[in-house]
């Protein structure tokens, strides 16, 4: 039977999911995607996904994707990983100390230049330049390595440990005198 555009799109989406899961490399994904859009029959499409496991909707799956959650060290239950503002918060934690220090040293330079009534050598560049270069490298490697998400998960684990400790303290009977 001849395949429709919707069938080709469904196979393309299944291939994208397989790529995201690491089941296909980028080259193989590209080859299969081209063949999917060129397919004319269901048999052509089926041949592209026969070696891939069937896709189960997340609500019916017994497995929890590693990127969508983590396991709580307290009770072994899955905990949803934070997603909103994770990268922005991480960037702020990395860059705000730098920006504060640079603001302070530039202010000191500006005040001393004003008091001396002469434009002094801009020495804050020796603070800003090297430190800024290190932060640029850290930002690029951190974003590429998923550092914001890891730190957010760790922050959430610490918060859960604190809540568990508070709950344990509140359930302990008071000490007898």
Per-residue pLDDT of the chain (177 residues; tens, 9 = 90+): 898 888 898 898 898 888 888 888 888 888 998 999 999 999 998 898 888 887 655 555 554 444 444 444 444 445 555 556 888 888 999 999 999 999 999 999 999 999 999 999 999 999 999 999 999 999 999 888 888 888 888 888 888 888 888 877 777 666 666
Is the pTM above the cut of 0.85?
no
Backbone angles phi, psi at 69, to 5 degrees: -155, 175
d(CA 20, CA 12): 12
Tokens standing for residue 164: 């568990």
**Which of helix, strand or coil describes residue 157?**
helix
Radius of gyration of the chain (CA): 27
């Amino acid at each position: 039977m001849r395949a429709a555009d919707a069938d080709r799109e469904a196979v393309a989406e299944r291939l994208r999911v397989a790529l995201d899961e690491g089941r296909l490399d980028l080259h193989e994904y590209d080859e299969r995607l081209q063949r999917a859009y060129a397919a004319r029959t269901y048999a052509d499409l089926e041949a592209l996904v026969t070696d891939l496991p069937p896709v189960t909707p997340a609500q019916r799956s017994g497995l929890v994707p590693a990127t969508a959650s983590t396991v709580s060290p307290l009770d072994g239950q899955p905990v949803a990983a934070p997603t909103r503002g994770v990268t922005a918060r991480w960037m702020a934690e990395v860059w705000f100390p730098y920006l504060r220090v640079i603001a302070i040293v530039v202010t000191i330079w500006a005040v001393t230049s004003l008091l001396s009534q002469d434009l002094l050598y801009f020495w804050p560049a020796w603070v800003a330049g090297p430190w800024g270069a290190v932060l640029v490298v850290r930002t690029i490697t951190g974003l590429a390595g998923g550092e914001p998400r890891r730190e957010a998960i760790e922050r959430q684990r610490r918060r859960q440990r604190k809540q568990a400790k508070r709950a344990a303290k509140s359930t302990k009977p008071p000490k007898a005198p």
